[in-house]
A and B are shown apart, each in its own frame.
Chain A
Amino acid sequence: QQQVKQSPQSLIVQKGGISIINCAYENTAFDYFPWYQQFPGKGPALLIAIRPDVSEKKEGRFTISFNKSAKQFSLHIMDSQPGDSATYFCAATRQGAQKLVFGQGTRLTINP
């Protein structure tokens, strides 16, 4: 059972553009939604995270939008840069469970 579905699988954006990656979840008990960034040969690293008591969280050029009723959340990268080229994973977990349930990943390429 795929509890977190992520799209698109791959995305190409021009430098300076907005990158948008979407995720949908099934388990309404999830209460913590992190996004991880992974560069080739490296482990995933936490980028930004949100809890369902807010609809949006912004950190620099990165914004998470959260829609609790639709069970969806998305990552927006503003003014995308070539250095943002990486694979991005959304994830979810719930209080007390600790384990993360990951989406399938999105390979993002920013063209210069």
Chain B
Amino acid sequence: GAGVSQSPRYKVTKRGQDVALRCDPISGHVSLYWYRQALGQGPEFLTYFNYEAQQDKSGLPNDRFSAERPEGSISTLTIQRTEQRDSAMYRCASSPFAGGPGDTQYFGPGTRLTVL
């Protein structure tokens, strides 16, 4: 079946603009995660949802970052007033069991964000 999809795959924006990154999880998956991955580094946790409820947003760098998953499926990560330091690969992952035993996070291909 289809994996996690993200759009756009590449986004170039000017400093100060708002951007919205979309994640389509695997159908039926309960949990959805957002990570940010700098070049040459491991993914860094941003936030996650179980169904439509945001469970943990401790990784969001500041209040310019927000995320939602209103119907428990598709999620949007929004960055307001982008800054050059926001440039990174933003990855979404989904998992079927909300962290139960054997739960596996399946990652999408990512959105490469470049802020000029």
**Contact residues of A with B, CB < 8 Å?**
4, 6, 34, 36, 41-46, 49, 89, 91, 93, 95-105
Given contacts A4-B42, A36-B107, A99-B45, 9 further A-B pairs with CB under 8 A are A41-B109, A43-B109, A91-B42, A97-B56, A98-B55, A98-B56, A98-B95, A100-B45, A104-B41
- What's the minimum C-beta distance from B102 to chain A, rounded to whole angstroms? 8
Number of interface residues of B (CB under 8 A): 28
Measured between beta carbons, the chain A residues less than 8 angstroms from B43 are 44, 89, 100, 102
Residue B110, interface by CB 8 Å: yes
Measured between beta carbons, the chain A residues less than 8 angstroms from B42 are 4, 6, 89, 91, 102-105
If A97-B99, A98-B56, A99-B56 touch, whether A46 touches B105 (CB-CB below 8 Å) is: yes
**Contact residues of B with A, CB < 8 Å?**
4, 31, 33, 35, 40-45, 48, 50, 55-56, 59, 91, 93, 95, 98-99, 103-110
The contact sample of 28 A-B pairs, CB cut-off 8 A, is: A4-B42, A34-B104, A43-B93, A43-B107, A43-B108, A44-B107, A46-B104, A46-B106, A49-B104, A89-B42, A91-B42, A93-B99, A96-B99, A97-B56, A97-B99, A98-B31, A98-B33, A98-B48, A98-B50, A98-B55, A98-B56, A99-B33, A99-B45, A100-B43, A100-B45, A102-B44, A103-B42, A105-B41
> Are A43 and B110 in contact, CB atoms less than 8 angstroms apart?
yes
> Are B99 and A98 in contact, CB atoms less than 8 angstroms apart?
yes
For the complex of A and B, 5 pairs with smallest distance between CB atoms: A102-B42, A43-B107, A98-B99, A99-B45, A89-B42
- What's the minimum C-beta distance from B45 to chain A, rounded to whole angstroms? 4
